Structure 1
Amino acid sequence: MQKQRICILGSTGSIGVSTLDVIARHPERYEVFALTAHSQVQKIAQQCLEFGPRFAVVANEARAKELKEMFAELKISTQVLFGSQALCDVASADECDVVMAAIVGAAGLPPSLAAAEAGKRILLANKEALVMSGQLFIDAVAKNKATLLPIDSEHNAIFQCLPSTFQRDLQVSGIEKIILTASGGPFLHRDIGSLSDVTPAEAIAHPNWVMGRKISVDSATMMNKGLEVIEAHWLFGAAHDKIEVLIHPQSLIHSMVSYSDGSLLAQLGNPDMRTPIAYGLAYPERINSGVEALDLSQFLQLNFFKPNFERFPCLRLAYEALRVGGAAPAILNAANEIAVEAFLSAKLGFMQIEAVVAETLGQIASSSLPDLTAVLEIDQEARQFASHTVARMGA
């Protein structure tokens, strides 16, 4: 068996670390072609020492110099690159077979799109790529015969529950709706009136999943689920009224598909990202992920209920952005990134995140996005507006 050569965009984050864990369990199947990180130089150096990739990419020249010095001490032969173009270069390189797209936020879009244009197998853990550039990204995948496999636990679960002949048409496949499950985050039962007092430390303390700071806050506001609704629209060709969100605090059922014959198919498993990662790496085969099998006898009950938009107004905003279409999802995403960053820096209150996003959506027109330049321009415009809004609200 010829080894698959893997590029991991965002190797020092939780998805990247889990991907390397799965790869390490199957050295006969996979080898690491490139690893990338923004600023965690010491961590990526240790990863390169263990996995010996051909390339390591960091954010800027200063980080690259620091990494080269570490490599010299550790006698690592990996070539060091830096900058956004280098991310695109390793993601689209001829020697690369599979790209794990796990850079959080808008920064992950250009290299993910480059991988699509190069016809790679893309394991998409960066939901912002589809949220920002939906049609553009899907068209690039189709035009260049790339393979797009969702890695978010919810979308991966849906993918596993779809018929093997599925072609992004729910009606033809007899599908009534797609159901995304959500844990509800750390504030599911907290008094709504006290949410304005939420601290960053409380917001990032997710009850079920180990995730980065930004995505943990998105889970607490349920913006993360809103972005997943938009992503599901593009991945599966589902209209907004065919995508339902159900809160499921146990996080054992990762998502479901409802069929016209009354069947409801669900994918279950322990809340560990190595399961969808292993599924994406080996698809259509299944391999050991390192995750223990789920023992349902240990759980007395599974609960489900509809989300409260008063408690989770960001989810409502995401549905509205999807209905509007055009640039609205990109504007939503950009404003949310700015607002969450401000909250984590104690410049903005927790409940003001939604206010910043709502004001930005209301003030910037939703235009069409014919190319990457247009996507990045509207992203920048929304970020500037949101930053000014944060400065005014935080004053």
Structure 2
Amino acid sequence: MATPSRAPDPSPASAAAPMRLSVLGATGSVGGSTLDLVAREPERFHVVALTAATNAAALAAAARAVRAEVAVVADPAAYADLADRLAGTGIAAAAGPEAVVEAARRPTDMVVSAIVGAAGLAPSLAALSATRTLALANKETLVTAGVCFMAEAARRGVTVLPVDSEHNAIFQVLERHAEREVAEIVLTASGGPFRTLSTEAIAAATPAMALRHPNWSMGRKITIDSATLMNKGLELIEADHLFAVGPDRLSVLVHPQSVVHGMVRYTDGSILAELGSPDMRTPIGYCLAWPERRPTPVKPLDLAALGTLTFEAPDRGRFPCLALAEAAMRRGDGAPSVLNAANEIAVEAFLDGRIGFMGIPGLVERTLSWAEGAGMMREPASLGEALDLDAASRGRAAAFIG
């Protein structure tokens, strides 16, 4: 079992030597939660680079607040706005996808990779050449190029810490050197906003309805993925790369309260679980302090007030995206890359009102069938191959919509 590579007892940053930290995707939900923790203990961190996709105003405000060395916006058209907002601060400004990759290559102690979508793949891979620890919140990196990414991390001796609450939970309770003793790794799912709706009601769902998540405050794309349960399917594929126990020992359990984030069942019958309030600052704080723990501002979990924890099996009939992701995980090779690319196109089309909610799994399934028939289901051996397969799959999915 290849758990996220662990460095040999690194010493935590001290007040005299603050942690050099970069945050890729600084204006998203994970990036914002990370910077909230940084701002509470500024003496612990020296922020090297912050990046964002298009929001120059939010990026400049964040960079000024934490006194970053450089701020980079991926959209070249936003450069003038960013440079103007940072004028006189001493914070360098840059723009363009290549500049984001260069920012990821700046030497650091830790990089938090929180860019949404396949756009995070190249910066995450670039960060492996310049950091000791990568806190990974970009699931597409592992879904699209998990084999070559984890191999490169191992080759460079980079510690990969999972930020997603479910994988972070597993990382916390997975006993070292116990791969033969693991019977099952269980990722929990809230069930999203449509957990109790009928198939007909789900098919009629609007983007506004799908964006109302009952527990978590997240970006638009991941919120839609939670509504379709595709997010949980992508997380299964991530877990397959992070923990390498094989698809047959990975499962999903719906847990509406979002208090139990992950469980490991061992061969002796014991189940170890991580519980906590649904607040991303818990797993992010764990990564920032690892291998120690430090206080966070997260509200303590009150189990007595909560009263009841419930669990149920996922309904793959009403939520076929989960079944598609599980099949892609078992199929392996290029299937997860095609799945992810088609899903991103489908979610964008749904949010734009060009397809219905059930058009998302329909488009993903159609694109997977096309890729299989075209002989494209090969495991990407490099970043270039992963990006080529991603681009081809996106193009075909978009053509199907057209």
Superposition TM-score, scaled by structure 1 size: 0.95
SS of the residue 1:261 aligns to: coil
Please point out which of 245, 262, 266 is paired with 2:269: 262
Greater mean alpha carbon deviation, residues 192-201 or residues 218-227: 192-201
SS of the residue 2:128 aligns to: helix
In structure 2, the residue matched to 1:10 is: 25
In structure 2, the residue matched to 1:36 is: 51
Q: Does 1:362 align with 2:369?
A: yes
In structure 2, the residue matched to 1:142 is: 154
Structure 1's unaligned 5+ residue stretches are none
Among all aligned residue pairs of Structure 1 and Structure 2, give the percentage whose two residues are the same amino acid: 48
Q: Does 1:376 align with 2:387?
A: yes
Structure 2's unaligned 5+ residue stretches are 1-13
Q: Does 1:84 align with 2:97?
A: yes
Shift in Å at residue 119 of structure 1? 4.5
In structure 1, the residue matched to 2:280 is: 273
Q: Does 1:341 align with 2:342?
A: no
Partner Cα separation in structure 2 for residue 119 and residue 284 of structure 1: 16
Partner Cα separation in structure 2 for residue 26 and residue 119 of structure 1: 21
SS of the residue 1:117 aligns to: coil
Q: Does 1:109 align with 2:124?
A: no
In structure 1, the residue matched to 2:186 is: 179
Report the count of equivalent residues. Answer: 383
Please point out which of 296, 300, 313 is paired with 2:320: 313
In structure 1, the residue matched to 2:70 is: 55
SS of the residue 1:186 aligns to: coil
Partner Cα separation in structure 2 for residue 120 and residue 63 of structure 1: 31
In structure 1, the residue matched to 2:253 is: 246
Shift in Å at residue 332 of structure 1? 0.2
C-alpha contact (below 8 Å) 1:98/1:120 kept by paired residues: yes
Deviations 1:278-312 (A, max 9, x none): 00011011112210111100112111111011111
Partner Cα separation in structure 2 for residue 308 and residue 232 of structure 1: 21
What amino acid is the match of 2:380?
L
Partner Cα separation in structure 1 for residue 77 and residue 315 of structure 2: 46
Partner Cα separation in structure 1 for residue 316 and residue 70 of structure 2: 45
In structure 1, the residue matched to 2:110 is: 98
C-alpha contact (below 8 Å) 2:79/2:93 kept by paired residues: yes
Partner Cα separation in structure 2 for residue 120 and residue 55 of structure 1: 20
In structure 2, the residue matched to 1:132 is: 144
Partner Cα separation in structure 1 for residue 46 and residue 131 of structure 2: 19
In structure 2, the residue matched to 1:223 is: 230
The structure 1 segments of at least 4 consecutive aligned residues displaced by more than 2 Å after TM superposition are 117-120
What amino acid is the match of 2:127?
A
Deviations 1:49-75 (A, max 9, x none): 211101100023321111111222xx3
Partner Cα separation in structure 1 for residue 344 and residue 151 of structure 2: 26
C-alpha contact (below 8 Å) 1:118/1:144 kept by paired residues: no
Q: Does 1:297 align with 2:304?
A: yes
SS of the residue 2:126 aligns to: helix
Deviations 1:140-188 (A, max 9, x none): 110000010000000000000011x34xx722xx110100000000000
C-alpha contact (below 8 Å) 2:111/2:131 kept by paired residues: no
In structure 1, the residue matched to 2:242 is: 235
C-alpha contact (below 8 Å) 1:208/1:271 kept by paired residues: yes
SS of the residue 1:238 aligns to: coil
Partner Cα separation in structure 2 for residue 363 and residue 239 of structure 1: 26
